[in-house]
Amino acid sequence: MKYRLLVVLIILGIGFANADSGFMFSITPGKLIEGFDLGYHFNGFVPKFGIDFASVSLSLTDTYEQPDTTYSDEASVGLTIIVPHFGFKYLMGKKNLRPYVGLDFLYTFGMASVESDGQADEVAEEALGDLLSGNWGIGFCFGGEFFLHKQFSFSGDVAFKYYKGSTKTEDEWSPGYIDIFETSLGLGMTDVSWGLNFYF
């Protein structure tokens, strides 16, 4: 059994050494959620892994003016989402312009900070964090790469992504009185993007 595994590993090693293979690095600027991909290309097949990241902060000030005094309330919200994904793309043909198809699996991690007049709102932070986290998704894409050089290409594709998730938050605001808040998410969207791809 050990010898069979050794023979298989040697054959795979020879195949990789003789194939047009190596590492790939891609960036996709201009997207709502920016990200990158790292992969390994092997005869047109590219298994890959990447991370998308987005962060937003919002501050609100509500001022009440009266003849003898002025009151103001301040609030701030910060949201961060990290979306690791893994999958593959398959490049067809051998010419400079090569169509490809791809498949990705996605998962979300989110964090939230909510303050009102300098005090953290832990209930709102937990609810928003749960809403941004734990969502899984799948994405399909079709596009093309134009190789200016065998180690550099421009790409463009059209993708469809679907996210699914749910949350459940319990808040016991008084002994025996529990507020249960549940949400369910189903989100489908198209995504058009372009990228710069480096092959090493």
- CATH code: domain of residue 38: 2.40.160
Other residues' Cβ atoms within 10 Å of the Cβ of residue 150: 10
Question: Does residue 80 lie within any of the structural domains?
Answer: yes
pLDDT exceeding 90 applies to what percent of the chain?
A: 26
Could you read off the pLDDT of 112-140 as tens digits, one per residue?
988 887 788 887 888 788 888 888 889 89
What pTM value is reported for the model?
A: 0.69
pLDDT of residue 32: 58
**Total domains present in the chain:** 1
Please indicate, yes or no, if residue 13 is contained in any of the structural domains. Answer: no
In a domain, 62, yes or no: yes
Within-domain flag for 1: no
Nearest to 81, CA basis, from 58, 52, 116: 52
Query: What number is the average pLDDT over the span 135-161?
Result: 91
The residue range of the domain holding 31 is: 20-199
Kindly state whether residue 172 falls inside one of the protein's structural domains: yes
In a domain, 110, yes or no: yes
188 burial (CB, 10 Å; 0-12 / 13-18 / 19+) is exposed
Identify whether 2 is part of a domain: no
The answer to whether position 98 is within a domain reads: yes
